[in-house]
Structure 1
Amino acid sequence: MTRLFHVSDVHFGREDVAAIEWFGRRVAEEQPDAIVMTGDLTMRARASEFAAAGKWLESLGRPVTVEVGNHDLPYFNPLARLVAPYRRYKTIERMIEKPLDLKGVGVVPLKTTARAQFRLNWSKGNVSIRALRKSLALVEAVPKGDLVFVAAHHPLIEAGTQASSRTRRGREALAALATAGAHAVLTGHVHDPFDIAHDVGGRTVRLIGAGTLSERVRSQPPSFNEIRIDGATFQTIARFMGEPDVAL
């Protein structure tokens, strides 16, 4: 059995210290095969926040791949946001979209953040044509018979959570990914866990969202997902701090 820990929205700068320590203990004791981090490592994309986030990820001692979230883009510096949005990410650059060596599973990145959008709330999701083409090529390159997990920050379609993603071209992206062979899309952003199966053109694709390890909880306490993979099947377990685990 392959076990992934799917974590998201730690928001260093507003992290829940008890929650990240709890997650670290779970990693140390259970030794998952890999960790998938689906964005918003930081609160305001400050260099100090990235340094703390990088130190924490390295301390886990497991293979890690990281997606970029909207909070990981410069917030108070519009010029930096447009010209050099990922400069402060250099402390963890080698972890961004890092391929994972997992038997029977391919993890494919999909960028859903944008430097600017023609709407006031730029925190919401956006799938560009270029980003989707890149991800589709990676999906098609996964060996036949392997599971394909797409990792993104924003849910591609709404999951009925308290917070929303309103991802532009998300539904079209989901249809294209399903056609290409994706089995699940792993996301964050809304701070509550879910695992919802969608029928897309006769194929079942699961949208899996992780909670948060920050102080910015919504309807659920701090949590992460454990994904247990057994051959061609997989199960999602929401692991809550201080509360029983829940099979989603």
Structure 2
Amino acid sequence: MTRPLCLFHLSDVHFGLEDARALEWVKAEIAARRPDAVAITGDITMRARPHEFAAAERWIHSLDVPVTVEPGNHDLPGYHLPSRYLNPLGRFRAFREVVERRIELARPGISGIALVPLNSNVPAQPRFNWSKGWISGRALADCLAQIDALPAGMRALVTVHHPLREAGTHGTALTRGGAAALAALAQRKVVGVLSGHVHDAFDLMEPTPHGPVRMIGAGTLSRRLRTTPASFNELAWDGAQLTVTVRNLAGLDSAAMQIGEVPADAEPPGAARGDASSA
């Protein structure tokens, strides 16, 4: 029997406030289990400072597996407004160039799966809390074009930082443009959408006018815990079904680790509202 493809899904490591014990544990798990790839869905740093990106680079290079990374709201500089407005993802892109390898997973007997990025960050928003997501028309178009260009038979896992859920009212929506993005993804060969941001794991089916889309969230590997211990997701793809197991330091089963709803206010304890890099 062909062994399923294995992907480790990490998020919200927050170098600068990382959990060193959790990172050593994940590194040991990667060395022992040798996943086909690792996906990190944003908030790699705490404040997008050079030394935080440098620490993240050293850790990722020590893993010796293909890694793909997405930016989170913490990976945009919040303390230097000229950089935030003029080149908000400059430091992240320089970091991405030295750590990332494009990932298309395939094995004889298993239909392939590709990780396709979707950026959910903008430098400024017309609402008080800039930590929340915003899917621009350009970002969605770029993601859809990459999905449409995949080889025949190749499926997609979309990687994004913010959950594509417009929780709450229009003014406080968790991710502006998330509903439109989900509706577009539902019409394509998308297995699921991997995200982070809320610091708790989840595995939910989100309805759209074109059918449901699976939303899969990873917890945090930082000291900024919300309601569950430090964790990551182990995903197995057999060519037809994606299985998600939440691995965590407390040894809890997946059901105990996964929240049943994406919260409208996703900030972990201690996050300052209105801080451009909070949550």
- CA contact 1:113–1:125 (8 Å) conserved in 2: yes
Match of 1:60 in 2: 63
Q: What is the deviation of 1:67?
A: 0.3
Aligned with residue 152 of structure 1, among 160, 173, 176 = 160
Matched to 1:233, the amino acid is: Q
Give the TM-score taking structure 1 as reference length.
0.93
1:105-131 deviations in whole A, cap 9, x for unaligned? 011100000111111211100000000
What is the distance in 1 between the residues matched to 2:210 and 2:104?
30
Aligned with residue 139 of structure 1, among 127, 141, 147 = 147
Aligned with residue 19 of structure 1, among 2, 17, 22 = 22
Give the TM-score taking structure 2 as reference length.
0.83
Is 1:172 the equivalent of 2:180?
yes
Is 1:93 the equivalent of 2:101?
no
- CA contact 1:183–1:204 (8 Å) conserved in 2: no
Partner secondary structure for residue 26 of structure 1: helix
Partner secondary structure for residue 4 of structure 1: strand
Aligned counterparts, 1:1-248, within 5 A: 1-89=4-92, 90-95=94-99, 98-103=101-106, 104-157=112-165, 166-246=174-254
> Identity percentage over the alignment?
49
Partner secondary structure for residue 183 of structure 1: strand
Matched to 1:212, the amino acid is: T
What is the distance in 1 between the residues matched to 2:57 and 2:63?
10
Q: What is the deviation of 1:200?
A: 2.9
Matched to 1:149, the amino acid is: L
Please list every run of 5 or more consecutive structure 1 residues that lacks an aligned counterpart in the other structure.
none
What is the distance in 2 between the residues matched to 1:241 and 1:171?
34
CA, structure 1 residues 111+172, in 2 after alignment: closer, same or farther (shift >3 Å)?
Answer: same
Partner secondary structure for residue 176 of structure 2: coil
Please list every run of 5 or more consecutive structure 2 residues that lacks an aligned counterpart in the other structure.
107-111, 259-279
What is the distance in 1 between the residues matched to 2:210 and 2:122?
31
Deviates more, 1:150-159 or 1:61-70: 150-159
What is the distance in 1 between the residues matched to 2:20 and 2:173?
26
Partner secondary structure for residue 15 of structure 1: coil
Partner secondary structure for residue 28 of structure 2: helix
